[in-house]
Structure 1
Amino acid sequence: MFTVSHVHHVAIICSDYDVSKRFYNEILGFKIVEETYREARQSYKLDLAINEQQQIELFSFPSPPARPSHPEAQGLRHLAFAVQDLESCIQHLNKHGIVTEDIRLDDLTGKRFTFFADPDGLPLELYEG
């Protein structure tokens, strides 16, 4: 039987390592677990803990190709983070100059959510619940 207990990590390739490192660590508050520079690839790999079970792996590469990341493009639609207090999270992001969309209501669950973007335009969601 194939059983998955949880999502361990999501890997993200960024265009500007320092900007993305600051965004995910200092603004979103994800804890740095380990930072490794891989000389052969001229690449950083940064492990960031979201909580005790989930992580973000942030990668840098010399010239990564662009990828469409609009919410309706084929492929990964967005990455959603569960939060308890949507308004305070929005205020925190806005204080750091990060634009958030208007709060929406999920017709299926009745939960509130909003979208914003990381430094490379990756669509991120805050989902209250």
Structure 2
Amino acid sequence: MHLDGIHHVAIIASDYRRSKRFYSEILGLKVLAEVYRQARDSWKLDLALPDGGQIELFSFPGAPARPSYPEAQGLRHLAFRTTDLDVAVQSLTAQGVACEPIRIDEYTGKRFTFFADPDDLPLELYET
């Protein structure tokens, strides 16, 4: 088997409009498509990542909350690459998004920080 990369990451939002604004306006991801799926009473928003991957943002009425803290089993976080961590943190902070203090990866020596989306899903910025 040969894998070429991640195609997409799917996220279910508790407040679709709030999360749509966060991912498209605050993080600046380009909207590829948005559809309303009447049979599921659900919106689906496809967002482009700079490396060709995508985030699929969904609304599902009545979806249960995901425990994040303490960390639950399953997907731990979604990390975004950036070449300038300071600029990225300043941009998020200016838009009211709190970031944890910048840390250094003890194995790679690279800098990183965590922040959260509107549903408190853990997101990471990793400087490359």
Shorter-chain TM band: over 0.9
TM-score after normalising by structure 1: 0.96
| Counterpart for residue 65 of structure 2 | 66
| Counterpart for residue 91 of structure 2 | 92
How many angstroms apart in 1 are the aligned matches of 2:70 and 2:76? 5
Corresponding position: 1:11 with 2:10: yes
Cα shift readout 1:46-92 (whole Å, capped 9, x = no counterpart): 00001252100000011111111237321111000000000000000
Are the equivalent residues in 2 in contact too, given 1:13–1:60 (CA < 8 A)?
A: yes
What's the RMSD between the two structures over aligned residues? 1.0
How many angstroms apart in 1 are the aligned matches of 2:102 and 2:50? 25
Alignment of structure 1 residues 1-129 onto 2, 5 Å: 2-70=1-69, 72-129=71-128
Indicate the percent of aligned positions where both proteins have the same amino acid: 64
- The alignment covers a number of residue pairs equal to 128
Q: Where in structure 2 are there 5+ consecutive unaligned residues?
A: none
How many angstroms apart in 2 are the aligned matches of 1:71 and 1:83? 27
Q: Where in structure 1 are there 5+ consecutive unaligned residues?
A: none
SS of 2:90 mapped into structure 1 = helix
TM-score after normalising by structure 2: 0.97
Cα shift readout 1:66-124 (whole Å, capped 9, x = no counterpart): 11123732111100000000000000000110000000000000000000000000000
How many angstroms apart in 1 are the aligned matches of 2:10 and 2:69? 17
SS of 2:24 mapped into structure 1 = helix
Runs of 4+ in 1 over 4 A off after TM superposition: none
